[in-house]
A and B are shown apart, each in its own frame.
Chain A
């Protein structure tokens, strides 16, 4: 890989992500509607389950335990349905026009990942604000916030890449919606988002350890709640590795959706 290629990828990813952010600024209603789901999970599910006290949360309140889980879930849900976007662009003609331009395929993928990441960060702001309203203690220092931003971007990147791969295989909106619905909830339940992995049956534990979502939850939880960050480098390493891998696969498969 030449330096020229790397600088092209970086420059064009930023250009594409920047345009996606402009779109969001032209019409921010999307951010408002997306805020509803995490608020329901925290405000209703979280508050209700807090009263059960049956889930071992390692000395922290259940609300503290699930806040990083709900943040993860809302970021992942945005990212997983981002593939719809490329099917939409294909059905228009925008994708063909981008593919004909001298833009590295990897930049097209990273641009989408970046813009899903920015939407994910908007979710993080909402979740944090709502958690503050509910009086959930979180460790929010400049250091943890910076690390949270990185993890949210990585997690959003991975699931956006995954969704672009699915989109390039199924190719139609209808089929994509079906598959999106089928995989999101299992991903969520087979992770440590709303209960610890230790209470799962062994087979599900195995699935949870293979699920990148678990590493995202784990990283966020160690930063925001427990403060014990011994596992953090491993969580981040897993996320970096799977995101790099999926970017490359996605850059290879994504152009196939156009022809």
Chain B
């Protein structure tokens, strides 16, 4: 582990039969960094995230979070990370407060602290007025905030967000980001997020990694990557095309498309 690195990925590989979804990637994410993870559908982004959050075992290579090996110390890793899936991960038939209490208990927060922790998270996300309301009455942006809340009740060192703003309107997008950045400021949480939007990555992240066909195509700060094109006003997308000499390869399975569209429809 390099100094100051929270997440260290070394030669991470995942094969499904003949298909190599992730092909020996290595990179590090520093403590307190906001790290954007980009790439077209089918580039290996989701597979990489699934391995980092311990849902999928790597075929070879590995990674450590806080110096703990993903596979050997998976349960310790789980206590140190939070995960916000792209799809809706709160229970609409429970209230906001109950959703948070559920996670507080599952993360073994001492029972006398659970309620105060849930209240603290509700206040942090400005949802305290809706604590007792069933979540199915919430707007898309409120749901997203509550989902982030569920993932931070145990104060994780790293928060993984899978396309945190997909399907949200611009206003909700802004409030969600405001809270994510506030989280880093208040608690020093390392933020690792995937996105399809180059502009979002450019505006919000300290560093960007772009995956393409299972490889890590580019990694660096948005400024560095843009400077490499030699143009003063280059966008991140132009930088990517300049550096790799390719356009994004179109990919993704029917299931990916179906599930991401479904998620967007539900969020309205």
Q: Does B105 contact A (CB under 8 A)?
A: yes
Q: Find out whether the CB atom of B85 lies under 8 angstroms from the CB atom of A96.
A: yes
- Residues of A contacting B71 with CB < 8 Å? none
Bound-state CA distance A96–B151 (Å) is 12
- Residues of A contacting B56 with CB < 8 Å? 259
Bound-state CA distance A81–B91 (Å) is 19
Q: Find out whether the CB atom of A100 lies under 8 angstroms from the CB atom of B54.
A: yes
The residue of chain A having its C-beta at the shortest distance from the C-beta of B88 within the complex is A92
**Min C-beta distance of A10 to chain B, whole Å:** 13
Q: Find out whether the CB atom of B106 lies under 8 angstroms from the CB atom of A101.
A: yes
Q: Does B209 contact A (CB under 8 A)?
A: no
- Residues of A contacting B94 with CB < 8 Å? 19, 22-23, 26
- Residues of B contacting A119 with CB < 8 Å? none
Q: Find out whether the CB atom of A100 lies under 8 angstroms from the CB atom of B78.
A: yes
Bound-state CA distance A16–B88 (Å) is 18
Q: Does A175 contact B (CB under 8 A)?
A: no
Known: A15-B106, A258-B55. A91 touches B78 (CB 8 A): no
Q: Find out whether the CB atom of A100 lies under 8 angstroms from the CB atom of B93.
A: no
- Residues of B contacting A23 with CB < 8 Å? 91, 93-94
Q: Does B31 contact A (CB under 8 A)?
A: no
- Residues of A contacting B228 with CB < 8 Å? none
Q: Does B150 contact A (CB under 8 A)?
A: yes
Chain A contact-residue range equals 20 to 34
Q: Find out whether the CB atom of A93 lies under 8 angstroms from the CB atom of B86.
A: yes
Q: Find out whether the CB atom of B107 lies under 8 angstroms from the CB atom of A100.
A: no
Bound-state CA distance A98–B54 (Å) is 12
- B53 interface neighbour in A15, A98, A100, A102, Cβ under 8 Å: A100
Q: Does B183 contact A (CB under 8 A)?
A: no
- Residues of B contacting A48 with CB < 8 Å? none
Bound-state CA distance A94–B79 (Å) is 17
Q: Find out whether the CB atom of A102 lies under 8 angstroms from the CB atom of B106.
A: yes
Q: Find out whether the CB atom of A100 lies under 8 angstroms from the CB atom of B81.
A: yes
Interface residues of B (CB under 8 A from A): 50, 53-56, 75, 78-79, 81, 83-91, 93-95, 98, 102-103, 105-108, 134, 150-151, 259, 262-263
Interface residues of A (CB under 8 A from B): 11-12, 15-16, 19, 22-23, 26-27, 91-94, 96-103, 255, 258-259
* 3 nearest CB pairs, A to B: A93-B85, A93-B87, A93-B89
Give 13 CB contacts A-B under 8 Å. A11-B105, A12-B106, A22-B94, A22-B98, A23-B93, A26-B95, A92-B87, A93-B263, A96-B83, A97-B83, A97-B103, A97-B150, A101-B78
